[in-house]
Amino acid sequence: MENTVSKTTLGLNLPTDPRWVDLAAMSMQDILTDHAFCEQKAASTIISIIQMHSDKPEIVEALSPVVTEEWGHFRMVLAELKKRGLTLGIQRPDQYIKELMKGKPKGTGRDQMFLDQLLICALIEARSCERFKILSQKLEEQELKDFYHQFMVAEAAHYKLFLKLAKNFFEEEKVMTRWQYWLDHEAGFLPNLEVRGDRMH
């Protein structure tokens, strides 16, 4: 990648397209609905990780409270929808996750899958955090700014936790090489995704 592409916060290779937040501001119902499902997916993904790695006490202990937190986030978004006279609505296809998952190699061993799982979670948390930051800075309504600021802080902590867990189980160099792989993979498909205001990603 050219040196002209500056690194964004959280080490992401590409910043979000600046047009996204203006589109999002015009579709708050869709953004809130999509966000609610993101939180729900975060909770269910982390439950799956705990189920698959129940033999690792560090994972069980570190991630159990995060499930509660993500479910709490889901409920916070539900409350925000309700306050605005809106309802949850239906879940829509998640193109970002679909593209992200194409980077997962097939037929790797359990260890590699575990590392990838942790790094994929870290990446989704980092990208979500970046988007919440943009919403908290650029939306006009103070209440929404504060609302998204809370998520930005929480997801930044989750991003760090997933990277830390990866380093607990694997050599730092292996983790960072693989992390770079995922950052590059994301930066490879992100510019090709349609910029739309009804999706968080």
The footprint of Fe ion on this chain (CB under 5 A) covers a number of residues equal to 7
Q: Does 73 bind Fe ion (CB under 5 A)?
A: yes
30, 34, 70, 186: which one binds Fe ion (CB under 5 A): 70
CB 140 to Fe ion: min, Å: 23
Task: Compose the 169-198 pattern: x for residues touching Fe ion by CB under 5 A, - for all others.
Answer: ------------------------------
The residues in 135-164 that bind Fe ion, with binding defined as CB under 5 A, are 155, 158
Nearer to Fe ion, 42 or 135 (CB): 42
Min separation Cβ 120 and Fe ion, Å: 12
Residue 34 makes contact with Fe ion by CB under 5 A: no
Contact 77, 42 (CB under 8 A): no
Point out which span in 42-50, 55-63, 102-110, 139-147 binds Fe ion (CB under 5 A): 42-50
Chain positions contacting Fe ion, by CB under 5 A: 39, 42, 70, 73, 125, 155, 158
